[in-house]
Structure 1
Amino acid sequence: MRTESSPAVILLLAALTALAMLATNIVLPVMPAMIADLGASASAAAPVLWSFLAVFAVGQLFAGPLSDRFGRRPILFSGLAIFVAGSAIAASADGLTALLAGRALQGLGAAAASVLSRAVLRDLFEGAALARALGWVMSIMAAAPGFAPLLGALIGEAWGWRATLVALIAVAVVIAIAHQRIAGETLPATQRSRLGARALARGYAALLANPRFTRPALANALTMGALFAYFAATPVVLRGFGIGTVGIGLFFGVAVFAVFAASFRAPRLAARVGPARVIALGLSIAAVAAGIAVASTLSDAHGLIVYVVAAAVFLFGVGLIIPASTALTLGPFAAQAGQASALLGFLQMASATVALLVLPSIALPPAATLATIIAASALLARIALRPGREPLPAAA
């Protein structure tokens, strides 16, 4: 395994992983101005998000296998080029249709970046090194949804909503240059697959039928769904406590340090007790966070403080779950790293989509609604991880 210059490689792959989160969350604070400027109704905000997420989810199913066939670099650079084109179309849009088309192209390009960040990690690292690298990548990646709303608010305030999309172009160009200089191609020609459509479908079916993939992958995806629900519900909760846009951005930025703390601990814990137990511990912590979040709705004097504690506890649990479950999911499938990464990414976004659709349908206070989703996700993930006839493997 190539591990030279690993800090630079890890920073690069974290940036690739974070690109989709950045593109999703940076537009949230400027969404009202964006919709008003294009003469659309407030209900158009949902399509602006879904046009990105839907294509992003499906695009991963194709980007991963294509990278297994043609190599990581050509698919990654094609994806970044599509992302830049989509950002340019969205930034120059004079109507809602052009904006949605640009956002869809952004989602397609981001799909390649997200899948290949995980596949390249699997190319370069294995075993304990893979778990450590994933911990670093996921902890750095967590900063994107934390700081993106604040960044979007500051850019939008200074230069308008279109500037947030131009900023995404600059980020993608920097990532492309860095990848060429730092990583290059990581999949040797001798290891590339020649999957046709039928073989590709059989490969996905085999992964879905394999508990060594599905059990940790479902735990990972369900946690990601709860995390997206947290991103969506927290601004509403904080506004209820009288917190403004910049304050909300600062809250997200500070809260991600809980993920950092957990991600640093996860590899050591996994080496000592095994990744499956680390995931189970993280799920238990997330369930505790759900109870604390409910308590914030019952406290008149200290509701905000209690919710802040709930958020920190939840994010600490996420910081344990995501790196351990990603390593456990991808570890046994070195020969199918791109395809396994693609399917994991699809499951993550499918879970996020379900969580965001369920969120407004629960007739409870926002914090209690979020707590319900977190608790349900943790319970379902624990069920997915329950011991079966075939034990979970170590992240080899």
Structure 2
Amino acid sequence: MTHKPTHAARGAAAQGAQKTLTGELRFLLAGLAALGALATNIILPTFPDMAVALGTSVIDLSATLSSFFVAFAVGQLFVGPLSDRFGRRWLVLAGLATFVVGSAICAVASTLPQFIGGRVVQALGACATSVLSRAVARDLFDGEALARALSLIMVAMAAAPGFSPMLGGAFNSGLGWQSTFTFVGVMAVVLAIYYNARLGETHPTDRRSAISVPSILKTYWQLLTDRRFIAPALAVSLVIGSLYTFFGMAPAILMEGFHFSPFGLAIFFASTVFVVFGAGFLAPRLAHRWGQARAARLGLVIALAGSIALLAGKEDAVFFSAALTVFLLGMGMVNPLGTAIALHPFGRQAGAASALLGFLQMGCAAIAISVGALLHVPAYTALGIILTSSLTLAFAAFLALRQA
């Protein structure tokens, strides 16, 4: 008589044997990481039609973005420690189920408050999948293999905001704005079924940690005061904050300054994915040759060079694209390598470390975007100032790792 392996046994087998990025694992990690970004950017082209349906204005709909990011940031701080105590599987499945519920609320909403409530529920589900994609990668991989897995996650998170506006526009034109929420909800269901059937638990019971409010606070404090974590984590977060600032300011720069059409803007965002993809392909290979820290420093230098060129150069569409390409190339190298360096020493607390890293990234993004909005200069100049300042601070933070 044969017996099917339990989820725990299957997860234990994965922990012991999964040392290469199979096609199944690529799909799962990429899908879990990109779900939140996909759900955010896919709705941007639908804002005019959505505003009419909800009886509000496009400007008021911006509250849906800020509410999503706040819930996303705070929720991560709870998901990480819970997964370290109870395992990844149930937190992943609960996060995906919560995301589906939030998507359904958004699809049937008839008022702005209802819609914002749905977006908050969506964010609480998506934050779990984002945090746990990194934690699962840390469960299964180490060293160069971890860097390759995180490169895949980074590419997926860059591809989602790059391509999703075009996808959202197509859904909106053919089926209406509600169809975008149906699509992302179906994606979450597919991920849940696939995850439960193919991967299951990756955090074995002998590596789980006790949980209580004092222990959670102690874990976070230890991470914040450990230079091995905070130096690379802060560097990566400042770089990601710069990237979100670019996404926030690019429409004003390209559409108002350089007179891009909405379709031209969507094509521009999509083209950035290929730069980040190339960087994600390059990063683990440079890390294999030079080591992760040295390759990450090179990425910081490249990103900083692009930022300085943007700030000092002329306000021209071609020059803007060239300088931004250099920035994105460096950013695409720093993100996976810096994340791998930050998570590597903390396998037992991978959930909490990933959660704190995600919180720092969202915090830096919020600060950078807010500062950019307060600067009384043209959007092009403001972006150059934010990128140059953030990359300078990121480089200084990463150098502190050498003294750890």
Fold shared by both chains (TM-score > 0.5): yes
Letter in 2 for 1:57: A
Deviation of 1:32 (Å): 2.6
Within a 5 Å distance, the mapping from 1:303-322 to structure 2 comes to 303-322=316-335
Counterpart residue number, 1:120: 136
Provide the secondary structure at the position in 2 that maps to 1:352.
helix
Alignment partners' CA distance in 2, 1:329 and 1:390? 15
In the alignment, structure 1 residue 194 sits paired with structure 2 residue 210: yes
Q: Which runs of 5+ in 2 are unaligned?
A: 1-15
Amino acid in structure 1 at the alignment position of 2:136:
V
Q: CA deviation at 1:253?
A: 1.0
Mapped to 1, the partners of 2:61 and 2:377 lie a distance apart of 23
The 8 Å contact of residues 11 and 137 in structure 1, kept in 2 or not, is answered as no
Q: Which amino acid aligns with 1:158?
A: G
Alpha-carbon separation, structure 2, partners of 1:375 and 1:271 = 28
Q: 2:30 aligns with which of 5, 11, 14?
A: 14
Instruction: Please say if residues 229 and 356 of structure 1, whose CA atoms lie closer than 8 Å, have aligned partners that are also in contact.
Output: yes
Match of 2:172, as an amino acid?
Answer: G
- Letter of the structure 2 residue corresponding to residue 46 of structure 1: S
TM-score (norm: length of structure 2): 0.92
Aligned-pair CA distance for 1:33: 2.2
Give the alignment's TM-score, normalised by structure 1: 0.94
Q: Would you say 1:210 and 2:229 are equivalent positions?
A: no
Q: 1:33 to 1:293 in 2, by over 3 A?
A: farther
Moved more, 149-158 or 329-338: 149-158
**Residue from 277, 285, 288 that aligns with 1:268:** 285
1:62 CA displacement: 0.6
Change in CA separation of 1:388 and 1:216 when aligned onto 2, cut-off 3 Å: closer
Amino acid at match of 2:234: L
Note the aligned Cα RMSD (angstroms): 1.6
| d(CA) in 1 for partners of 2:401, 2:261 | 48
Q: Given that residues 68 and 337 in structure 1 are in contact (C-alpha distance below 8 angstroms), is that contact kept between their aligned partners in structure 2?
A: yes
Residue type matched to 2:329 in 1?
F
Mapping 1:60-75, distance limit 5 Å: 60-75=76-91
Identify the range of structure 1 (177-186 vs 210-219) with the bigger mean alpha-carbon deviation: 177-186
Q: Which residue identity lines up with residue 110 of structure 2 in the other structure?
A: D
Q: Letter of the aligned partner of 1:286 in structure 2? A: A
Identity across the alignment (%)? 45
Contact 2:343/2:350 (<8 A) preserved: yes
Q: Counterpart in 2 of 1:372?
A: 385
- Residue 389 of structure 1 and its aligned partner are, at CA, apart by 7.4
Decide whether aligned partners of structure 1 residues 286 and 246 sit closer, same or farther in structure 2, where only a CA change above 3 A counts.
Answer: same
CA distance in 2, matches of 1:388, 1:8: 35
Picking from 58, 63, 73, the partner of 1:57 is 73
Native 8 Å contact 1:27 1:161 kept in 2: yes
Q: Deviation at 1:146? A: 0.6
Q: How many residues align?
A: 387
Partner of 2:145: 129
**2:238 paired with 1:222:** yes
Matched with 1:244 is 261
For residues 349-371 of structure 1, what are the alpha-carbon distances to aligned partners after superposition, in whole Å with 9 as ceiling and x for unaligned?
A: 11111122222212222222111
Aligned position for 1:341: 354
Cα displacement (A) at 1:257: 0.6
| 2:177 is aligned with 1:170 | no
The alpha carbon displacement at 1:321 in A equals 0.6
Partner Cα distance (1:377, 1:4) in 2: 34
Q: Which runs of 4+ in 1 moved over 3 A?
A: 387-391
Matched, 1:329 2:342: yes
User: Which residue is 2:62 aligned to?
Assistant: 46
Question: In 2 relative to 1, CA 108–388 (structure 1 residues): closer, same or farther, beyond 3 Å?
Answer: closer
Aligned to 1:282: 299
CA contact (8 A) 2:54 2:111 kept: yes
Answer whether contact 1:229 1:355 (CA < 8 A) is retained: yes
